[in-house]
Structure formats: C-alpha cells, structure tokens
C-alpha cells in the first residue's frame, strides 16, 4: 500500500516538473521604463495586466519587468498625480511609457463626510495632509505628528512623556465648559475627540483631511463645531502583492541642561540667606537638625581645617534622566484582484522615557478586507486591535545636591523622618502601571443599484478597556507612610456602537450639469462604566495592590453612563459648467444628553464656489492653472458634556456618627473646586446644544501648472448658548447648575503657500502655513467675570479667568512695578508689613485707594498666541532626499511658576545687588498671581531634519524599494523663555516644569517586496 502511494506521488511530481517549464515557456517577458513629461523616471508606478492581478511596480529608475501570458494583452500604467494609460502589447516586448500630469489632480480625490469629491470641486475649507509629510519620530499618538501640518490646525504637546497625548484645536476654542477638541473620524467611523489617537499606526494611514468650516463639518452636526479630522487607512489594491517593512530606532536626549542645583556651596549660601530673611536660623552651620547633619559652608568648600571635605555632590538630573532607545517596527502586506482586495499590518512600538523606569509599549494589528460578492455589491471589514502598556512617570530632579541618594546603611537617604522627596526611591518603589485594550471594527455593504445610485450601510463598534495599578509603600511616599500602604485599582470600559445607512446619487445630468446627493440616517449608542478599589493599611508592602482584601480599610466606588445619538443627514452638491458650484448640507441630531424640551437640533450650511480659471477671460492667462473663490456659512453644534446633566440626580455622602462612618443618601452630588465641596445635580430640562455660526471666505490659486499653490481663508465663528455651570443661590440647597448662557467669538486668517522651486535632476520645494486667530468672550449671562480652574495653593487663588471682552483663559491678577528698594517705597505703594520690605515684589495699587487688595486685580496676560506658523522645505537629487521643518508660535504669554529657579536665585535682590528683576530669597514669602511671573512664550523650533537615500536596485529583482534615512527632531528652540524649560506649555499657559520634551535622533529603514 505504502509503495503504491509513493509511486503515484512520484509520478505526480514528475508531471508537475514537466508542466511548469512548458507553461513558463509560453509566457512573454515584457520590460520598459516609465517617465514623466520632463523625461525624468517615475518610481512606484503600478503596471498591471488588464483584467488580472498580475503586475509589478517601477523601481527607482522607473524600470519595470514582468511576464505575461499573452503577447496581445494590454498593460495598465497608473500613478497618483498622473493620467492612467492603457497600452496594448501587440507582440512588443519593450514598452516605454510617458505619463502626463493629471492637472485633474487638481481633481485628486478627497475624502469628505459620507463620501468623496474631487479636490477641485471642494466648496468648503478642507486641508489634506499627506502621510509622507508626517515627521518620522517616536510618537505614541498620531495627533502629535499633526503639529504644523495645516493652517488653522493647532497642536499643543506640553509633555514629552511616552504615551502622552496632545491638545488639538481647529480655529480656536468655542466652548467655556464643553469640549473644544475636533471630532476624529476613522474610515467613516466617528471615534470621538482628538487628542490621544493611540489606536492608529501612522504607517497605516492613507490620507488625512481636516474639515474646518461649517460647510465641510456640518454633516457631523452636533459634533462638528470644533472641526473634524478624517483619517482613511490603507486598503488593498488590485495587482501584485506588496510586502513592506518599516523600522525606526531612536535615541533621545535632554534638549538642554535643566535649571536645578548642582553647586552645593551656592545652594547652601542661598538656603541660609532665605531662612535669615524669614527670621529663621540658618541650617548650614555644622549642626544636626531633625536627625540630619548640615555641613558648614567652609566644609562644603573643603576649606574647614577641622572637618574633611564634604563627600557628596549629587547631580539629580544625571541620576533621574537617561538617554533611552526607542523602537518602532511595522510589517504590512496588501494586494488583491478585481474582486478581492486586502491590507494587513502589524506594528510594535516601544518608547522609553527620559526618566528612569518610565516607558510605553504598544502592539497594533489591522486587517482591511474588501470583497465584490456580486457585480454591483461589495462588502468589507476593517478591524483594528491595540494593546498598550505604560509604566512609571515623571520625576523631579530638583532635590538638594548636598545630600546623597543612599545613607550609610544602603537605605534611601532622608533629610528628615518625613522626607519622601527622593526621586530614586519613588521610581524604584512606587507601582504606577496602566494597560489598555482597544478593539475597533467596521463592516459595510455597498450596493451600486444603478450607475448613478448607491446605497451603503455600515455597522461599527469601538470597545476599550483599561486598568490602572497604583501602590505607594510606607517607606517611599507620605501617603504610604500615613496610611501604612496605599493602593488603588481603577478599571474602565467603554463601547460605541454605530449604524449608518445612506443613499448617494452621483449623476451628470448633461455636459453642463452635475448633481451629487447624500441622504441617510445614523444611530449611535455609547456606554461606559468604571470602578475604583482603594485600600489603606497593609501588613507589609510585599504584594502591593494584588491583595486589596488584606487592607484594613477598603473603599469601593463605581459608575455607569449611557447615551444615544440619532441623526438624519443630507447633502446636495450641484455643479454647472464645471465652473459654478453650490453645496447645501444639513444634519438633524437628537441626543439623550439634553432635556425633553431640546433633544433635537438642526444644523444647516451652504457654500458656493467659482472656478475662475475655467472662465474664458482666464484662459488667456497661461500662468494661471487654478483660481477658485469659496464662500460658506453654516451652523454646527456641541454636545460635549456628560450625560444626565438635565436630570435630578441622587447622591451619596459619608459622614462620621456614633464612632463610625455612615453613608447617607439624598438629592444632589458633590465634587471639589480645589478647596470647597460644591453641590450640584439640580435638573435643567431646558438645557440645549451649543451652536456655532461660522462664515468663511477662501481663495485657492495655482500657478505654472500647480508648481505654486496658495490657499487663503478668512473666517468668523460666533458660538452662543454656551454650556457651563452657573452658581445659584445657596438657599436652593445647591451651588451650581448647568445652563446655556454666554457667547464667544473667534475670527482669523489662514494661509498656505507651497512652491516647486526647481524641477529636474535637482528638485526643491519650499512651503509653509500661517494661522492667526483672535478669540473673545462676548457674554456670560449675568456674569462679567468667572474663574476657570481651581484655586492654586501657591497663589491662594485661581489664575485663569473668563472676562467679558477678553480672550479665552486670560491671566487675572496683580500688576507689578519691579522690586521694592526701600521701606518707604513699599509703604508709599500701598503695601504693609512683610510685603513692604526691601527686596519684595512691588504690587501696584491699581485703583489708587491707598492699599493693595483684591480690587486691584486685572488682566495680566494672554496665553493664546498671536499666530503660529510652519516652514517646510525638501530637496531631492538622484537617490538622495532631504527635508526640514520649522515650527513657530508667536505672542503667547506664559505664567512661569518656575521663574525663581536656582539660576535666578543667584541673581536675587540683596542690599549689595539692588536688582529690579528678582526679589530677595525667602523661606516663607506669600506670592500672589501677578505679571511678575508672566513671560513671553514665543519660540521657533527646528522641528525636524531628515536625510534619506533610496538604494539602487537594478540587479535586485526581489526588492521593489529600499530607503535608509536619518532624522533629528526637536534639534533646537529659539526663544527668550526660561533657559532649561520648554516654552510649549499646556493650553492654559501655566508652566510648572513639565516632563522634558526629548531631542530625538533616529535611524530608519524601509523596504518593499
């Protein structure tokens, strides 16, 4: 039996070996070169045998070669930005092709809400960001890479910590208490607010569109007031399977030397002086204080004949920070035929932080499958899975340089029994970890009912889960010491389920009339829930938070939130003579978040555009390849508040009675505003949507066959019915209620200019963008002034405020007039006591009533920039390419809580140095929020430099492309801001000394098969 099977197998193998050469001998080898109109080779052109999946792509020299089964077949040559050509072989074995530029790539396809359109047919303000333009640097979130990529788009990245998100704004801020983040839509699925888009691998992105005006964003209704970012991921293309591998290895360093104590002698002198100025005894006199010996100044200098030189000179910055290595790898495959197309990718991302014990890892997998199940029916699925792991966090390097890390027994050194400021102890002993899992799936059915009528139904689901582990041992933190071990476990899960159904009519009614209609209905169900388990008092720290049941005190809490959004959508686009364009868009949204009186709202918009270059008089201007005037006006909304704000809510409270804690139930809920318990939960059934009315006028100009392009926009945004919490009379039993009152305005100018300076063996492009936005609080109901944020302990007051006629988040505090030089000067200024002493900050009696008090406070700064700008340039010569990006922010103010840092304390006021810039040092000075802390935050950063080389592959048929490149990010920042600190701070303009932004040097390798 076995011999018989073996005999048949051998016969089969011999038959196959005979047939394969015979079949191969019948195939025809075809080769050639593809060039552009200028004769330059075009790499990456798709060469496909028509009607099959057989094909290849051109190499760096534009060369291609493939084998075809029929010498009379037809080859299809296609590439983005060029007209597709079909060429019959007719027995030829050498086909050289010249492709013409597609100034219909003026007709490049652009993704818009619920459809696509030609770029030249856009009537709204839409910016396209090419994925190739995204900076190649370690970034856990796509959001961070969008900085400087489009006019009108502001991206703030105040922290360099791995896994940190970003603050994103489109055309300013439009809400005082609701969300100001744009909506992110991925492959047609609205994911939510931008800012931490960690689920998307940048290598998987095919296109990014930014919808800025009401005409473009109104199709998203109540979520479009802050603009929309559309992200489309890669999908498979018919033809030869393509396999690609991208790798990026990076080394990070501190961009500048931190402003911390490194000289023990100078530190001790300043400390002694500060205590003496405060009426206290100096410490560094060779005494023991709270169990710690404080050396003399002479001992620190090594000049005390009776004591040996002080052995410690601890540089905490050197111990806390490192030069970490980060890695990013992506393996992808895509391909298919005319019926089935696929795209698969996997990514591993590992970013180690500058701070020790701090890092972030991410695993991402994606599958995109499209299948034609019938000649006019397509189905598809897009699945993304992401798993992240973060550990550690920021650490302080500001500890005294005089004392060591460890004591003589090997334990962590403490300056006093309750000293828990050792950053090495904190990094090694405190548990700080989080893990997340995200599963995002979309499936669709597309039915081409007629050549001009299409129906699409799509079901999408986004599930996320996170768990945060925290534990503070009793010997590492004050919390741990106080509670004899302090641990928490936080769980969160969220789910978004969306069904969208819409029809599209796309029809040329005649040579002169074109019509596109979209109409449909969507339903979105959102839910999230969380729980927290907190434990105090553990027998020991061995198990940390893994045995919360062993805690002497256990506190559990949990919550659940659900909401529903239903919408009707519609859009009508009409084009006459391919010259005059009109678009009407509308969306009606119904949200469960709002009261019974206002659950539904209607958001319409209209836009017109005129293609001037299509007019007869413009045909006589050969330099003009495009000129289009756009005007739009429309309404969008904002529902960016939590559910249940319109309902009467029941809360719980813990109170101490009869020797034990009791739980009480009653109307209302409470939170904290910094120091005070605030009661809310009163219903407001009339709560309604915020509404933004926006006008936009724009101009698109292209010259010399689009070698020079200009985009210019002016916009005016008027947002009313602002959602915010208003104080109410205490006799009601509550402190605050959600209301609609207030108006905020934004207006601005956006410019984008790009030019291809040289086009030949040496290619040079130069471009940039400019954004100017002015915002103003117009009204807040009956209020003229409202604090924004909690009270700051150092200032005993909040800092940012909303004031009528002032910009969003203005600094509110005292004016100053230098430093007091004499007691008489201080008293004459209306100051008294310690505040009137020489060397103190001189606060201004603004209302001239003879005293400085709360009535003298005024606007002292504006954290919003005058404008932001980007300059980009790129060079290409043969196989080499170079690109550079500069990013700048001008005119914003920063409230610098780090202003009196060690290097500034050295420049302090003394009787011998009566400076007017810095006060005397003091151990107990009471600071007030004042313009003394306000500093110009303008900067210009060398954002990125990249040098690449495309390896020639004439003799390597297995590879389609190989590129090696070097990249440097955050190379240098030109600024007058505080040396040692980054001027890019959080949106409220406060600088507390955030996690340093690293300077990154990267080596990348990309290759394709």
- Residues 232, 302, single domain; the answer is no
How does DSSP classify residue 308?
A: P
Please choose, from the candidates 352, 399, 552, the residue with its C-alpha nearest in 3D space to the C-alpha of residue 998: 352
Cβ burial, residue 38 (10 Å; 0-12/13-18/19+): exposed
At residue 651, the pLDDT reads: 73
- Residues 94, 117, single domain; the answer is no
- Lowest-confidence segment of 168-182, 462-476, 834-848 by average pLDDT: 168-182
pLDDT over threshold 60, residue 17:
no
Percent of the chain residues topping a pLDDT of 70: 94
What is the spatial distance between Cα 650 and Cα 680, in angstroms, rounded to a whole number?
Answer: 10
Please choose, from the candidates 534, 516, 495, 372, the residue with its C-alpha nearest in 3D space to the C-alpha of residue 453: 516
How does DSSP classify residue 355?
A: B
Q: Give the sign of the dihedral formed by CA 66, CA 67, CA 69, CA 72.
A: positive
Taking the CA atoms of residue 32, residue 33, residue 39 and residue 40 in that order, the dihedral angle to the nearest 10 degrees is -170
Phi and psi of 823, rounded to 5°? -60, -40
What is the spatial distance between Cα 978 and Cα 64, in angstroms, rounded to a whole number?
Answer: 56
- Could you tell me if residue 722 is inside a domain? no
- Residues 149, 227, single domain; the answer is yes
HSE-CB for 197 with a 13 A CA cutoff: 27
At residue 105, the pLDDT reads: 46
- Could you tell me if residue 846 is inside a domain? no
Contact between 918 and 925 under an 8 Å Cβ cutoff? The reply is no
Cβ burial, residue 664 (10 Å; 0-12/13-18/19+): exposed
Which pLDDT band, with edges at 50, 70 and 90, does 229 fall under? very high
What is the spatial distance between Cα 807 and Cα 827, in angstroms, rounded to a whole number?
Answer: 34
At residue 103, the pLDDT reads: 55
pLDDT tens digits along 388-445: 999 999 999 999 999 999 999 999 999 998 999 999 999 999 999 999 999 999 999 9
290: left (phi over 0), alpha (psi -120 to 50) or beta: left
- Residues 133, 196, single domain; the answer is yes
What is the spatial distance between Cα 986 and Cα 934, in angstroms, rounded to a whole number?
Answer: 15
- Residues 187, 233, single domain; the answer is yes
Taking the CA atoms of residue 189, residue 191, residue 196 and residue 197 in that order, the dihedral angle to the nearest 10 degrees is -20
pLDDT tens digits along 624-653: 999 999 999 999 988 777 787 777 777 777
What is the spatial distance between Cα 605 and Cα 45, in angstroms, rounded to a whole number?
Answer: 40
At residue 837, the pLDDT reads: 95
Burial 818-829 (b: 16+ CB within 10 A, else e): ebbbeeebbeeb
Report how far Cα 207 is from the mean position of its chain's Cα atoms: 17
What is the spatial distance between Cα 229 and Cα 166, in angstroms, rounded to a whole number?
Answer: 14
Per the structure, the count of domains in the chain is 3
Give the domain CATH number at 116.
2.170.130.10
Query: Where do we find the tokens 């770029």?
Result: 119
Q: What are 28's strand-pairing partners?
A: 68
At residue 361, the pLDDT reads: 97
- Residues 94, 113, single domain; the answer is no
- Residues 116, 211, single domain; the answer is yes
Please choose, from the candidates 339, 349, 350, the residue with its C-alpha nearest in 3D space to the C-alpha of residue 375: 339
Q: Give the sign of the dihedral formed by CA 658, CA 664, CA 666, CA 669.
A: positive
pLDDT over threshold 90, residue 806:
yes
3-state secondary structure of 681: coil
At residue 668, the pLDDT reads: 67
Top mean pLDDT of 158-167, 288-297, 587-596, 860-869 is at 860-869
Q: Which has the higher per-residue pLDDT, 100 or 784?
A: 784
Contact between 45 and 36 under an 8 Å Cβ cutoff? The reply is no
pLDDT tens digits along 886-913: 999 999 999 999 999 999 999 999 999 9
pLDDT tens digits along 850-875: 999 999 999 999 999 999 999 999 99
Contact between 967 and 1001 under an 8 Å Cβ cutoff? The reply is yes
Structure tokens at 373: 């199940």
pLDDT over threshold 60, residue 262:
yes
Contact between 592 and 647 under an 8 Å Cβ cutoff? The reply is no
3-state secondary structure of 1002: strand
Contact between 885 and 872 under an 8 Å Cβ cutoff? The reply is yes
3-state secondary structure of 894: strand
In Å, what is the CA distance from 991 to each residue of 411, 584, 863, 894, 906?
34, 45, 11, 7, 21
Cα angle value 638/641/644 (rounded, 5°)? 130
- Could you tell me if residue 881 is inside a domain? no
Q: What is the rounded average pLDDT of the residues 138-146?
A: 83
- Could you tell me if residue 263 is inside a domain? yes
Burial 868-901 (b: 16+ CB within 10 A, else e): bbbbbebbbeeeebebbbbbbbeebbbbbbbbbb
Which pLDDT band, with edges at 50, 70 and 90, does 36 fall under? confident
Give the domain CATH number at 94.
2.60.40.1120
Contact between 462 and 438 under an 8 Å Cβ cutoff? The reply is yes
Percent of the chain residues topping a pLDDT of 90: 69
At residue 12, the pLDDT reads: 39
Radius of gyration of the chain (CA): 33
Task: Give the DSSP letter string of 778-814.
Answer: EEBTTBSEEE-SPPBTTTTB--EEEETTS-TTEEEEB
HSE-CB for 147 with a 13 A CA cutoff: 27
What is the spatial distance between Cα 631 and Cα 624, in angstroms, rounded to a whole number?
Answer: 21
- Residues 148, 76, single domain; the answer is no
Structure tokens at 501: 């159904």
Q: What is the rounded average pLDDT of the residues 534-545?
A: 94
At residue 41, the pLDDT reads: 85
In Å, what is the CA distance from 422 to each residue of 1, 407, 419, 651, 784?
78, 12, 8, 40, 45
In Å, what is the CA distance from 38 to each residue of 33, 42, 480, 943, 954?
14, 10, 72, 33, 22
3-state secondary structure of 404: coil
What is the spatial distance between Cα 442 and Cα 481, in angstroms, rounded to a whole number?
Answer: 49
pLDDT over threshold 70, residue 738:
yes
Helix, strand, coil shares of the chain, percent, nearest 5, are 10, 50, 40
pLDDT over threshold 70, residue 243:
yes
- Could you tell me if residue 572 is inside a domain? no
- Residues 286, 262, single domain; the answer is yes
CB atoms within 10 A of CB 225: 35
Beta strands in 932-977 (DSSP E): 934-936, 939-950, 961-969, 973-975
How does DSSP classify residue 122?
A: -
What is the spatial distance between Cα 370 and Cα 338, in angstroms, rounded to a whole number?
Answer: 10
At residue 81, the pLDDT reads: 57
What is the domain extent for residue 191? Answer: 109-237
- Could you tell me if residue 414 is inside a domain? no
Q: What is the rounded average pLDDT of the residues 964-977?
A: 95
Structure tokens at 91: 């027995």
At residue 676, the pLDDT reads: 61
Q: Which of 206, 237, 268 is the last residue of a domain?
A: 237
Please choose, from the candidates 386, 340, 487, 344, the residue with its C-alpha nearest in 3D space to the C-alpha of residue 141: 386
pLDDT over threshold 50, residue 6:
no
Which pLDDT band, with edges at 50, 70 and 90, does 320 fall under? very high
Taking the CA atoms of residue 121, residue 124, residue 130 and residue 134 in that order, the dihedral angle to the nearest 10 degrees is 170
In Å, what is the CA distance from 572 to each residue of 188, 447, 561, 581, 833?
19, 20, 36, 11, 72
- Residues 257, 281, single domain; the answer is yes
Taking the CA atoms of residue 422, residue 425, residue 426 and residue 428 in that order, the dihedral angle to the nearest 10 degrees is 150
Query: Where do we find the tokens 């040996």?
Result: 308
Q: What are 437's strand-pairing partners?
A: 387, 465
At residue 928, the pLDDT reads: 95
Which pLDDT band, with edges at 50, 70 and 90, does 677 fall under? low
At residue 24, the pLDDT reads: 34
- Could you tell me if residue 973 is inside a domain? no
At residue 736, the pLDDT reads: 79
At residue 48, the pLDDT reads: 85
Averaged pLDDT score across all residues of the chain: 89
- Could you tell me if residue 1008 is inside a domain? no
Query: Where do we find the tokens 């969380």?
Result: 530
What is the spatial distance between Cα 1004 and Cα 45, in angstroms, rounded to a whole number?
Answer: 23
- Residues 279, 257, single domain; the answer is yes
Please choose, from the candidates 823, 830, 836, 834, the residue with its C-alpha nearest in 3D space to the C-alpha of residue 852: 830
- Lowest-confidence segment of 72-76, 78-82, 484-488, 820-824 by average pLDDT: 78-82
Report how far Cα 736 is from the mean position of its chain's Cα atoms: 32
Query: Where do we find the tokens 């910009």?
Result: 807
Q: Which of 320, 340, 372 is the last residue of a domain?
A: 320
Q: What is the rounded average pLDDT of the residues 366-370?
A: 96
- Residues 59, 86, single domain; the answer is yes
Q: Which of 298, 320, 342 is the last residue of a domain?
A: 320
Cβ burial, residue 777 (10 Å; 0-12/13-18/19+): buried
What is the spatial distance between Cα 978 and Cα 901, in angstroms, rounded to a whole number?
Answer: 9
Q: What is the rounded average pLDDT of the residues 757-778?
A: 93
What is the spatial distance between Cα 995 and Cα 98, in angstroms, rounded to a whole number?
Answer: 53
List Cβ neighbours of 14 (8 Å cut-off, separation of 6 or more): none
Contact between 555 and 652 under an 8 Å Cβ cutoff? The reply is no
pLDDT over threshold 80, residue 14:
no
Q: What is the rounded average pLDDT of the residues 871-882?
A: 94
What is the spatial distance between Cα 906 and Cα 901, in angstroms, rounded to a whole number?
Answer: 9
């Amino acid at each position: 039996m076995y011999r018989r099977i073996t005999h048949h197998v051998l016969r089969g193998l011999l038959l196959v070996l005979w047939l394969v050469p015979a079949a191969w001998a019948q195939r025809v080898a075809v080769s050639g070169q593809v060039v552009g109109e200028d004769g330059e080779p075009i790499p990456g052109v798709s060469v496909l045998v028509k009607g099959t999946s057989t094909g290849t792509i051109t190499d760096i020299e534009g060369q291609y070669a493939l084998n075809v089964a029929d010498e009379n077949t037809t080859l299809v040559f296609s590439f983005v930005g060029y007209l597709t050509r079909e060429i019959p072989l007719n027995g030829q074995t050498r086909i050289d092709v010249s492709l013409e530029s597609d100034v219909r790539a003026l007709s490049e396809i652009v993704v818009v809400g619920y459809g696509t359109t030609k770029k030249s047919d856009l009537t709204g303000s839409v910016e396209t960001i090419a994925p190739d333009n995204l900076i190649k640097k370690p970034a856990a979130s796509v959001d961070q890479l969008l900085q400087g990529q489009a006019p009108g788009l502001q991206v703030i990245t105040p922290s360099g910590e791995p896994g940190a998100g970003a603050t994103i704004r489109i055309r300013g801020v439009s809400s005082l208490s609701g969300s100001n983040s744009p909506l992110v839509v991925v492959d047609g699925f609205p994911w939510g607010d931008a800012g931490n888009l960690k689920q998307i691998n940048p290598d998987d992105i095919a296109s990014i569109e930014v919808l800025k005006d009401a005409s473009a964003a109104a199709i998203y209704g109540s979520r479009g007031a802050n603009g929309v970012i559309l992200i489309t991921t890669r999908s498979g293309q018919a033809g030869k399977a393509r396999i690609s591998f991208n790798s990026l290895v990076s080394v990070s360093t501190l961009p500048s030397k931190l402003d911390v104590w490194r000289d023990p002698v100078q530190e001790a002198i300043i400390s002694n002086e500060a205590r003496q100025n405060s009426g206290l005894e100096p410490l560094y006199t060779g005494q023991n204080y709270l169990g710690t010996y404080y050396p003399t100044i002479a001992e620190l200098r090594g000049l005390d004949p009776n004591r040996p030189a002080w052995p410690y000179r601890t540089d905490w910055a050197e111990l806390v920070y490192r030069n970490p290595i980060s890695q990013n790898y992506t393996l992808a495959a895509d391909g298919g035929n005319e019926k089935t197309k696929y795209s698969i990718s996997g990514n591993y991302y590992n970013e180690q932080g500058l701070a020790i014990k701090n890092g972030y890892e991410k695993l991402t997998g994606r599958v995109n499958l499209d299948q034609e199940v019938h000649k006019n029916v397509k189905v598809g699925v897009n699945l993304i899975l992401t798993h992240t792991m973060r550990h550690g966090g920021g650490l302080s390097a500001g500890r005294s340089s005089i004392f060591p890390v460890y004591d003589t027994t090997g334990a962590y050194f403490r300056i006093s029994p309750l000293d828990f400021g050792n950053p090495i102890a904190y990094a090694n002993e405190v548990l700080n970890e989080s893990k997340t899992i995200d599963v995002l799936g979309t499936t669709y059915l597309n039915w081409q009912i007629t050549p001009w009528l299409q129906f699409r139904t799509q079901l999408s689901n986004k599930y996320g889960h996170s768990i945060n582990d925290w534990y503070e041992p009793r010997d590492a933190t004050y919390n741990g010491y106080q509670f004899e071990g302090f641990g928490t476990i936080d769980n969160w899960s969220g789910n978004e389920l969306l069904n969208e159904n819409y029809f599209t009519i796309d029809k040329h009614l005649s040579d002169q009339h074109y019509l596109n209609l979209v109409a449909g209905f969507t339903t979105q169900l959102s839910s999230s829930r969380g729980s927290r388990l907190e434990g105090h008092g553990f027998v020991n720290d061995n198990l940390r938070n893994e045995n919360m049941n062993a805690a002497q005190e256990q506190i559990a809490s949990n919550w659940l939130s659900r909401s529903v959004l239903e919408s009707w959508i519609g859009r009508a686009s009409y084009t006459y003579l391919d010259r005059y364009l009109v678009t009407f868009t509308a969306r009606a949204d119904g949200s469960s978040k709002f009261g019974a009186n206002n659950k539904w709202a209607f958001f319409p918009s209209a836009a017109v555009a005129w293609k001037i270059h299509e007019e007869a008089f413009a045909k006589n201007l050969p330099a003009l390849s495009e000129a289009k005037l756009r005007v739009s006006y429309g309404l969008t909304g904002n529902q960016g508040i939590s559910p249940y704000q319109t309902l009467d809510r029941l809360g719980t409270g813990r109170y101490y009675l009869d020797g034990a804690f009791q739980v009480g139930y009653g109307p209302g809920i409470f939170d904290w505003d910094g120091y005070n318990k605030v009661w809310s939960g009163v219903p407001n059934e009339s709560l309604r949507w915020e509404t933004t009315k926006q006008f936009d006028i724009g101009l698109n100009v292209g010259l010399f066959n689009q070698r020079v392009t200009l985009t210019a926009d002016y916009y005016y945004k008027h947002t009313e019915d602002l959602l915010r919490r208003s104080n109410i009379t205490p006799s009601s039993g509550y402190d605050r209620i959600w209301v609609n009152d207030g108006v905020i305005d934004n207006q601005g100018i956006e410019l984008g200019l790009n030019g291809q300076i040289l086009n030949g063996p040496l290619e040079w492009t130069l471009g940039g963008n400019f954004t100017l936005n002015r915002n103003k609080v117009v009204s807040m109901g009956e209020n003229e002034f409202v604090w924004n944020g909690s009270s700051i302990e150092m200032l005993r007051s909040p800092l940012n405020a909303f004031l009528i006629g002032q910009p969003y988040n203005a600094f509110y505090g005292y004016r100053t007039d230098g430093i007091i030089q004499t007691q008489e000067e201080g008293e004459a200024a209306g100051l008294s006591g310690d505040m009137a002493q020489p060397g103190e900050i001189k606060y201004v009696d603004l209302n001239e009533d003879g005293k400085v008090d709360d009535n003298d406070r005024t606007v002292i700064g504006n954290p919003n920039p005058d404008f932001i700008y980007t300059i980009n340039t790129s060079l290409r010569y043969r196989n080499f390419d170079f690109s550079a990006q500069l990013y700048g922010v001008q005119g914003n103010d920063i409230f610098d809580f780090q202003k009196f840092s060690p290097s500034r304390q050295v420049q302090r006021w003394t009787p011998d140095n009566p400076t007017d810039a810095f006060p005397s040092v003091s151990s107990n000075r009471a600071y007030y929020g004042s313009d003394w802390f306000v500093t110009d935050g303008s900067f210009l950063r060398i954002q990125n430099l990249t040098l690449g080389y495309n390896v020639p592959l004439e003799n390597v048929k297995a590879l389609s492309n190989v590129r090696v490149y070097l990249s440097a990010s955050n190379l240098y920042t030109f600024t007058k801001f505080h040396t040692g600190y980054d001027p890019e701070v959080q949106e409220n303009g406060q600088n507390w000394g955030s996690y340093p932004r690293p300077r990154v040097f990267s080596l990348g390798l990309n290759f394709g098969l």
